Amino acid sequence: MKLTKEELEETLEELGSYKGRQTELVSVYIPIGYDVNAVQRQLEAEKSTAKNIKSTSTKKNVSDALDKIVRALKDYKKTPDNGMAIFSGNISKIEGQTDLRIWEIETPMPLKNRLYRCDKEFILEPLKEMLEVDEVFALLVMDRKEAAIGLLEGKSIELLQKMTSGIPSKVRAGGQSSQRFHRITEGLTKEFYKRIADEMKKIFFEMPKLKGILVGGPIPTKDEFLEGDYLVTKLKDKVIGVRDIGDADESGLKELVKKSEDILASQEITKEKKLLENFFEKLGEKPDMVLYNEEKIRKALEYGAVDKLILSKAIDKKLFSELKKLAQNISAEVHIVSTETIEGEQFLNLSGMGAILRFKIG
């Protein structure tokens, strides 16, 4: 079934709590557009390979899990729109007993990983990354010959469009004057910049999660593009970083992200600082609308009075999960903050948990 982000988070928490005795918990990821029948055939072949496992109990558990997944996949005529992940294994804590389960997850965002693995734990990282993605960044690397447009979602870089200008090399055709050749190349360059800008508008203009745009390329090219009247104002205002990059292809997108790590980190930290500054401001101005005591926060959550719940990553994991679940039950916003800022440290020293209320409670 297709899960919301909140449901996915709960499922991942459950899956993360299971441990196999040997490498007997099976994780299968099927990316968007991949043939579900091909995965069935692969897993049928893996069942034959599993017969070579020396441990009798591990062999049985792996074979049973694969069998359960293969049977489940037969119900799918095609891979779900966003792809899917399937997990199966014997999760019984008592040795010698069997509790064989299966989880079929249609992901809330496009899944790009293809994976099959038997391990002592279910492989959950690709799905956990989805939970981190609340905003995305547009990427553009360009020179006069080519351009690549991409998207950064969490840690995943996706190439969306490759473009070429068709500008001839510096060697002129016989008889062409230097001035005429220059006019032709300049005209083609401007046309190329317009095409890039049109493509950027088409892809990103109405993207609600777009947080910012990173641009890379050789020194004159990217500057000409950004200083010229090519990008629409709404997108131009979202340019948060410009970097000198040598390549204008897929490897250039990766280099752009690597060279922009400081910008991306500061974006996240700025957001966190603003949230906590707002919390401390409200605490000073309207103390009856802000809570930081666990018992009072729990009471407010039970009454449905919490508008925003703020939790530090550094508090006890069990407490973290309990409060988060209570907040999700009343559709309160949940914000998770680090201790990497002065405000984050102050917040942890206060209690590491805070609630901004919708209404006062007694």
Residues 128 and 150 in one domain: no
Q: What share of the chain is helix, strand, coil (3-state, %, to 5)?
A: 45, 25, 30
Cα of 294 vs its chain's centroid, Å: 31
Residues 105 and 202 in one domain: no
**285: CB partners within 8 A, 6+ apart:** none
Q: What domain range includes position 15?
A: 5-132
Residues 285 and 351 in one domain: yes
Rounded (10°) CA dihedral 35, 250, 229, 136: 60
Q: What is the band of 187 on the pLDDT scale with cuts at 50, 70, 90?
A: confident
Mean per-residue pLDDT, 341-355: 94
Cα–Cα distance list, 158 to 80, 114, 147, 150, 206 (Å): 20, 15, 14, 5, 18
As a whole number of angstroms, the distance between CA 297 and CA 306 comes to 8
- DSSP letters of 311-342? EETTS-HHHHHHHHHHHHHTT-EEEEE-SSSH
Rounded (10°) CA dihedral 63, 67, 68, 71: 170
- Per residue in 114-126, pLDDT (tens digit) is 999 999 999 999 9
Predicted pLDDT of residue 162: 97
pLDDT of residue 170 exceeding 70, the answer is no
- What length is written for the chain? 362
Cα–Cα distance list, 221 to 24, 189, 198, 226 (Å): 54, 9, 17, 9
The kind and range of the H/E element at 240 are strand 239-244
Give the strands of the sheet with 25-30, arranged side by side: 100-106, 84-90, 25-30, 115-119
Predicted pLDDT of residue 271: 84
Q: What is the band of 15 on the pLDDT scale with cuts at 50, 70, 90?
A: very high
Residues 168 and 85 in one domain: no
Does residue 362 belong to any structural domain of this protein? Answer: no
Residues 194 and 305 in one domain: no
The token pair at 358 is: 């919708």
Nearest to 83 by CA among 57, 107, 48, 50: 107
Q: Which of 27-31, 106-110, 182-186, 327-331 is the least confident region?
A: 182-186
Residue 267 one-letter amino acid: Q
Q: Which of 76, 102, 132 is the last residue of a domain?
A: 132
Q: Residue 250 belongs to a domain with what CATH number?
A: 3.30.420.60
Question: What count of Cα atoms within 13 Å lies in the side-chain half-sphere of residue 102?
Answer: 17
Does residue 169 belong to any structural domain of this protein? Answer: yes
- The 3-state secondary structure of 146-205, one letter per residue: EEEEEEEECCEEEEEEEEECCCCCCCCCCCCCHHHHHHHHHHHHHHHHHHHHHHHHHHHC
The kind and range of the H/E element at 6 are helix 5-16
- Contact criterion met (CB below 8 Å) for 28 and 39: yes
**70: CB partners within 8 A, 6+ apart:** 40, 43, 44, 47
Q: Can you give the C-alpha Rg of the chain in angstroms? A: 26
Does residue 152 belong to any structural domain of this protein? Answer: yes
pLDDT of residue 172 exceeding 70, the answer is no
Residues 293 and 337 in one domain: yes
Nearest to 34 by CA among 89, 109, 111: 111
- Per residue in 191-243, pLDDT (tens digit) is 999 999 999 999 999 998 899 999 999 988 999 999 998 999 999 999 999 99
Q: Residue 288 belongs to a domain with what CATH number?
A: 3.30.1330.30
Q: DSSP character for 21? A: S
Mean per-residue pLDDT, 33-54: 92
Nearest to 283 by CA among 355, 360, 362: 355
Does residue 46 belong to any structural domain of this protein? Answer: yes
Q: What is the band of 349 on the pLDDT scale with cuts at 50, 70, 90?
A: very high
Query: What's the number of domains the chain is made of?
Result: 3
Q: Residue 76 belongs to a domain with what CATH number?
A: 3.30.960.10
CB neighbours (10 Å) of residue 56?
Answer: 8
- Per residue in 280-331, pLDDT (tens digit) is 999 999 999 999 999 999 999 999 999 999 999 899 988 998 999 899 899 9
Q: What is the band of 88 on the pLDDT scale with cuts at 50, 70, 90?
A: very high
Cα–Cα distance list, 27 to 4, 124, 143 (Å): 20, 8, 42
pLDDT of residue 266 exceeding 60, the answer is yes
Q: Which of 259, 287, 315 is the last residue of a domain?
A: 259
Confirm whether pTM is higher than 0.75. no
- Contact criterion met (CB below 8 Å) for 155 and 129: yes
Cα–Cα distance list, 278 to 270, 282, 328 (Å): 12, 6, 21
The token pair at 232 is: 């629409």
